[in-house]
Structures are given as C-alpha cells and as structure tokens.
C-alpha cells in the first residue's frame, strides 16, 4: 500500500520548549554529530534530517527547528503543520522551562492532535545545578503519560535514544 509506505518513510518532528533548553543543539547533535557552544540560530523555520533504520524500516526524520521565537510565544502555525511526532524539552537548570512543559504539550495537541510525544530533560551534565528534583520530573512524566529521557546534548548522552523511541512510536501507529 503506497500510502503506508510513504507514512513510514517520512516523519516531521517538532521540538518544543522554552528558549535555551537546547533544542537547536539537540537537532544539530543528532543530525550532524556535533556540539558547538555558539550555535547560530536559524533564520525562520528550518529543518535538518537524519535517516534511521528501525526494525528493517527506513525512517527519515525531519527535525524542525525554530528561530528562537519561542521566547515570545510566537511560533507560527507553519511550524506545527503536519507534524507527526514531538519532543517536549526542558532544561535541568531552568525551573521555568520545567513549569512550561504542560503548556507546550497542550499547544502541540491543539495544533497537531494526538501525536507521538516524548519528554526530555536536557543538560543533565549540569545536574549539580539542578533546579528540578528527579521525583518531580518523573511525576510530571507520569501525569502527562510521556516517557522521560534525561539527555546531555553536550556530552552526547541519550540523544539517539530519544529519536529512536519517537520513531518506534511513530512506526507503531
Ligand atoms: P534552544 O533555544 O532551545 O534552541 O537552545 P540552544 O540549542 O540554542 O542552546 C542554548 C544553550 O545551551 C547553548 O549555549 C548551548 O550550547 C547550551 N546547551 C545545549 N545543550 C546543552 C547540554 O546538554 N549541556 C550544557 N551544559 N549546555 C547545553
Ligand atoms: Mg534554538
């Protein structure tokens, strides 16, 4: 079936969360394998891709980045349009970003409906400066019905796992 073949080959993935949690860095890490401290923000909506193989199926993930306009709560509809999976990210050192998670999830659901989603606590390398208790993060994940991954984009910890999990959810749909 052609429709099924197409569905399982491409997935638009959006990455939401407050500014500076590491969304652009995560995309760059996953798609290019690099981490740079001074990542230049993209102008306007853009994406990077990576192809992975999962259970014998090729999946092309298109990871859409924002231009940093999330600080102004002004991500355009074009960003969300057609998204098939989503990462909701917050930072270990930024409590406001943790408190904003529910709002981000709701926003994605309003725009995209019920799509595969995963919760990511990034910057776990800065655990000594944590602004969130582990139990709090786990409780939120449970409440929202999302799997929680703790990542360090900087140290390349668990980033692959986030997207493999998301791709698996997407394929299983
Ligand atoms: P965005 O606004 O969510 O796209 O965040 P950026 O990707 O621009 O990252 C914001 C800042 O956090 C940058 O200075 C990154 O280098 C830094 N950063 C991203 N991920 C990590 C991480 O895992 N650990 C640490 N220590 N810094 C990170
Ligand atoms: Mg960014």
Q: CA 85 to CA 11: how far, in whole Å?
A: 7
Q: Using a 6 Å cutoff on CB, does residue 39 contact ligand 1?
A: yes
Strand locations in 55-154 (E): 57-65, 85-91, 117-122, 148-150
Q: Which pTM does this prediction carry? A: 0.92
pLDDT score, position 5: 54
Atom of ligand 1 nearest to the CA of 18: 3
pLDDT score, position 44: 47
* Residues in the chain with pLDDT values less than 50: 42-45, 72
pLDDT score, position 4: 57
pLDDT score, position 72: 47
Which bound ligand lies closest to the C-alpha atom of 39? 1
Q: Using a 6 Å cutoff on CB, does residue 150 contact ligand 1?
A: no
State how far the alpha carbon of 58 is from the alpha carbons of 45, 116, 137, 168, in Å: 25, 18, 32, 11
Q: Using a 6 Å cutoff on CB, does residue 152 contact ligand 1?
A: yes
Q: Using a 6 Å cutoff on CB, does residue 48 contact ligand 1?
A: no
pLDDT score, position 86: 98
Q: Kind and range of the H or E element at 10?
A: strand 10-16
The number of C-alpha atoms within 13 Å of 165 and in the hemisphere containing its C-beta is 16
Q: Using a 6 Å cutoff on CB, does residue 111 contact ligand 1?
A: no
Atom of ligand 1 nearest to the CA of 124: 23
Note the ipTM here: 0.99
């Amino acid at each position: 079936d052609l429709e099924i073949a197409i569905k399982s080959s491409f997935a638009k993935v959006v990455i939401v969360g407050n500014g500076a949690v590491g969304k652009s860095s995560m995309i760059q890490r996953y798609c290019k394998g690099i981490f740079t401290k001074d990542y230049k923000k993209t102008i306007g909506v853009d994406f990077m891709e990576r192809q992975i193989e999962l259970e014998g199926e090729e999946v092309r993930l298109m990871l859409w980045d924002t231009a940093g306009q999330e600080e102004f709560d002004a991500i355009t509809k074009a960003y969300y349009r057609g998204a098939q999976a989503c990462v909701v990210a917050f930072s270990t050192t930024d409590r406001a970003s943790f408190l904003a998670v529910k709002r981000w999830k709701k926003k994605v659901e309003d725009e995209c409906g019920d799509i595969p989603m995963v919760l990511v606590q990034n910057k776990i390398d800065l655990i000594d400066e944590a602004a969130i208790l582990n139990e709090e993060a786990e409780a939120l994940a449970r409440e929202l019905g999302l799997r929680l991954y703790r990542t360090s984009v900087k140290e390349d910890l668990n980033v692959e796992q986030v997207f493999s999990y998301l791709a698996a959810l997407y394929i299983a749909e």
